[in-house]
């Protein structure tokens, strides 16, 4: 699938297996989410442009290199918050803008309730964060919001995605690259990814209903 980067690495497989396990407790689930987000971010930032920066080391003068673009990290609330810290660790100068959406359980369509993107002054590169790309509805809405803002380079980071969701993004936004740990084959009748990992937001924030 063009534009879809399924990150291949033994650590991705290892951490994703722990993330999928229904017996993994919330604290460990959050840690695994952070670890996978860092691995995805490493891949998603591999081609960011650099510019020269003269510096002084303790021994001499030299030309170093620094990022040459303005970057925005855009988590989709609430589950996307679970991916923010690892991105900020790697990109401490990046801006963070929040988009709030929830899924209508009757229609499985996203409903936007919060948008903190400014009206002008768009970033150069925007990273949309959502742990699960299921139907693709929320991510499609987020990409559209970034395009209205004027962001020319939009990249999506999701821990797992469904093939139908990925195919939808490719149809609607073929220029947007998607970085994922795994593309799972199907959605069930409730539009959850299968085999998936359940509800990422509930597992991150420990809000699963009692058994």
Q: Is 107 a catalytic residue?
A: yes
Q: Is 199 a catalytic residue?
A: yes
Residue 70 C-beta-side C-alpha neighbours within 13 Å: 9
Whole-model pTM: value is: 0.91
List 13, 107, 148, 207, catalytic entry: 107
> pLDDT at position 71, please?
97
Query: Among 10, 4, 61, which Cα is nearest to 179's?
Result: 4
List 70, 78, 163, 202, catalytic entry: 202
For the chain, give the mean pLDDT.
Answer: 92
List 70, 78, 103, 168, catalytic entry: 103
Query: Among 194, 192, 172, 178, which Cα is nearest to 108's?
Result: 192
Report DSSP state, residue 22. Answer: T
Residue 107: which pLDDT band, with cuts at 50, 70 and 90? low
Name the least confident of 6-10, 12-16, 106-110, 125-129.
106-110
> pLDDT at position 114, please?
78
In this model, does residue 105 exceed pLDDT 70? no
pLDDT tens-digit readout, 42-99: 999 999 999 999 999 999 999 999 999 999 999 998 899 999 999 999 999 999 999 8
For residues 142-166, average pLDDT: 95
Q: Is 63 a catalytic residue?
A: no
Q: Is 17 a catalytic residue?
A: no
- Name residues whose C-beta falls within 8 Å of residue 138's C-beta, 6 or more positions apart in sequence: 76, 101, 103, 110, 130
* Domain boundary assignment for the chain: 4-49+64-205
- What CATH architecture does domain 4-49+64-205 belong to? 3-Layer(aba) Sandwich (3.40)
């Amino acid at each position: 699938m063009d534009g879809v980067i399924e990150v291949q690495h033994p650590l991705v497989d290892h951490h994703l297996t722990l993330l999928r396990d229904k017996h993994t407790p919330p604290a460990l689930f959050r840690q695994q989410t952070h670890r996978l987000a860092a691995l995805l971010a490493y891949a998603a930032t591999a081609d960011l442009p650099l510019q020269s920066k003269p510096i002084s080391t303790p021994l001499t003068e030299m030309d170093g290199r620094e990022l040459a673009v303005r970057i925005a990290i855009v988590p989709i609330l609430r589950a996307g918050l679970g991916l923010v810290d690892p991105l900020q660790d790697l990109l401490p100068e990046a801006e963070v803008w929040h988009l709030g959406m929830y899924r209508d359980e009757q229609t499985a369509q996203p409903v936007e309730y919060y948008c903190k993107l400014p009206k002008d002054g768009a970033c150069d590169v925007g990273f949309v964060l959502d742990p699960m790309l299921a139907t693709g509805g929320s991510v499609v809405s987020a990409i559209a919001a970034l395009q209205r803002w004027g962001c020319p380079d939009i990249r999506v980071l999701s821990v797992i995605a469904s093939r139908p969701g990925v195919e939808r993004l490719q149809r609607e936004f073929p220029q947007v690259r998607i970085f994922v740990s795994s593309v799972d084959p199907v959605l069930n009748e409730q539009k959850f990814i299968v085999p998936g990992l359940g509800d990422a937001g509930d597992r991150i924030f420990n809000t699963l209903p009692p058994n």
